[in-house]
């Protein structure tokens, strides 16, 4: 990745370098980030494609001409959140509140619990934003991280929940919900995710205490009977059986838990799930999504995908161990009922060869798919995975290795 900075704001280079050095201390591989001088009046990120950013901190502001060109406005007085794909407003006013807002692929994002920035703060925010983008953070995560960085010292990577902004989606309905039933962190353990109730039965017989039934096709003829049977098996074995996606059937048949993706939060009846006293797990793929998920006060938050996986088509890139450790540090500071520390489930490409390094990041639980369903000996695979998980759990539960002590697979 090349980050090209125009000569009229070349002083920004030093600020960006400082952020990259701090990223390196966390364990990120920054060697692939090359800084240079932009041949245009705009900041440019050059990888497979080129993205351009102009800014009202500069003397010159380009009018965006295409999908990969944006204007960042730090001193906008607009109160209209209906921004287009080419604008990012930092510290604008929405419904009487200060907010950052932008649009991406038709989705309107926002951050609240933020302030209007003075020019020195705006320069620092811009440096963090561009450094995070050059490290391949998606835009919504880079903007979230840049805001959090303003709450800590220049020598600190933000990891405390209290330092982060509050994310929201303009398209989402306002929600107020009771907290979902909490889980004992040590109760999650090894967490297989399977696509057939036969696997649920088999794994519970082997002593697995947490399992998820994830049937991908809603038109499957025996969908409801499988869910009914999975719920019954959970009661029989006194296990924690989560139903993926099909929250209406989960409520209807009294499931122990439901797991939902971020996209499901826009359509599922969260109030109905809360009233049904069902445990709720939510997926996340980065800073913005895990902070958004936390607002629903779920029973746990899943972090993924950690390594490349073929079991599900993913819209995001693999997170890697460095990011996983940083997300876990943030989760450790989140409120969880009367306690502190949101339970976490790492998922995506995890098997016996890498489960130890994942647990070392401090996660509460590890979800596996192929490591169990494609194993030559299922019983042996479960025993080995559980043993590898358990031997590290007592040392890491509630804590996290410093990110620089793990290997980043992002590159």
| Residue 378 among known ligand-binding residues | no
**Cα–Cα dist 294/27, whole Å:** 26
| Residue 80 among known ligand-binding residues | no
CA-nearest of 140, 162, 143 to 151 is 162
**Cα–Cα dist 66/119, whole Å:** 28
Q: How many CA atoms lie within 13 A of 20 on its CB side?
A: 23
| Residue 215 among known ligand-binding residues | yes
Give the Å distances, CA to CA, from 220 to 180, 196, 225, 309, 332.
29, 11, 10, 24, 39
| Residue 245 among known ligand-binding residues | yes
**Cα–Cα dist 336/212, whole Å:** 22
| Complete DSSP assignment for 14-36 | HHHHHHHHHHHHHT---TT-EEE
| Residue 213 among known ligand-binding residues | yes
Which residues are CB-neighbours of 73 under 8 A, at least 6 positions away?
Answer: 55, 56, 87, 88, 89, 90, 92
| Residue 112 among known ligand-binding residues | no
| Residue 84 among known ligand-binding residues | no
Q: Do residues 167 and 144 touch, judged by C-beta distance below 8 A?
A: yes
| Residue 377 among known ligand-binding residues | no
**Cα–Cα dist 77/92, whole Å:** 6
Pairing of strands 87-94, 97-104: antiparallel
Backbone torsion region of residue 109, taken as left when φ is above 0, otherwise alpha when ψ lies between -120 and 50, otherwise beta: beta
Q: Do residues 367 and 346 touch, judged by C-beta distance below 8 A?
A: yes
| Residue 311 among known ligand-binding residues | yes
| Residue 283 among known ligand-binding residues | yes
| Residue 216 among known ligand-binding residues | yes
**Cα–Cα dist 59/41, whole Å:** 9
- State in Å, rounded, how far the first CA of the chain is from the last one: 11
Kind and range of the H or E element at 120?
helix 119-134
Match 């980050």 to its residue by tokens: 3
The distance from CA 35 to its chain's CA centroid, rounded to whole angstroms, is 28
| Residue 309 among known ligand-binding residues | yes
**Cα–Cα dist 117/72, whole Å:** 13
Q: Do residues 94 and 79 touch, judged by C-beta distance below 8 A?
A: yes
With b for 16 or more beta-carbon neighbours within 10 A and e for fewer, the 44-79 pattern comes to bbbeeeebbbbbebbeeebebeeeebbbbbbebeee
CA-nearest of 247, 135, 114, 232 to 180 is 247
Q: Which residues are annotated as a binding site for Mg(2+)?
A: 245, 264
Q: Which residues are annotated as a binding site?
A: 212-216, 244-245, 264, 283, 309-312, 349
């Amino acid at each position: 990745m090349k980050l090209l900075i125009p000569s009229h704001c070349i002083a920004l280079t030093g600020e960006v370098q400082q952020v990259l050095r701090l990223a390196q201390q966390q364990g990120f591989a920054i060697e692939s980030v090359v800084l240079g001088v932009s041949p245009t009046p705009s900041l440019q990120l050059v990888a497979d494609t080129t993205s351009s950013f102009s800014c009202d901190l500069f003397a010159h502001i380009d009018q965006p001409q295409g999908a990969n060109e944006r204007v960042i406005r730090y001193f906008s007085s607009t109160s209209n959140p209906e921004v287009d794909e080419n604008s990012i407003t930092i510290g604008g006013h929405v419904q009487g509140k200060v907010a950052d807002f932008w649009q991406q692929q038709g989705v309107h994002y926002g951050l609240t619990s933020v302030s209007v920035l003075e020019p020195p703060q705006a320069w620092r925010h811009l440096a963090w934003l561009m450094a995070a983008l050059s490290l391949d953070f998606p835009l919504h995560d880079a903007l979230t991280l840049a805001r959090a960085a303003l709450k800590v010292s220049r020598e600190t990577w933000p990891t405390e929940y209290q330092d982060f902004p509050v994310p929201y989606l303009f398209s989402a309905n306002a929600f107020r919900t009771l907290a979902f039933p909490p889980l004992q962190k040590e109760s999650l353990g090894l967490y297989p995710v399977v696509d057939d109730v036969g696997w649920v039965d088999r794994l519970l017989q082997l002593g697995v205490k947490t399992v998820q039934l994830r049937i991908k096709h809603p038109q499957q003829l025996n969908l409801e009977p499988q869910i009914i049977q999975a719920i019954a098996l959970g009661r029989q074995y006194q296990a924690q059986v989560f139903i993926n996606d099909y929250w209406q059937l989960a409520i209807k048949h009294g499931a122990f838990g439901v797991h939902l993706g971020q996209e499901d939060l826009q359509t599922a009846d969260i109030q109905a799930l809360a009233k049904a006293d069902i445990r709720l797990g939510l997926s996340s793929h980065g800073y913005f999504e895990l902070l958004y998920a936390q607002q629903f006060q779920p029973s746990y938050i899943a972090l993924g995908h950690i390594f490349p996986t073929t079991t599900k088509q993913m819209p995001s890139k693999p997170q890697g161990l460095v990011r996983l450790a940083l997300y876990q540090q943030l989760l450790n500071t989140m409120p969880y009922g009367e306690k502190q520390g949101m339970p976490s489930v790492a998922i995506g490409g995890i098997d016996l060869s890498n489960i130890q390094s994942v647990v070392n990041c401090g996660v509460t639980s590890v979800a596996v798919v192929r490591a169990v369903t494609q194993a030559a000996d299922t019983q042996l695979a479960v025993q080995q995975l559980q043993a590898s998980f358990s031997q590290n759990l007592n040392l890491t539960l509630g804590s996290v290795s410093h990110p620089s002590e793990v290997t980043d697979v992002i590159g």
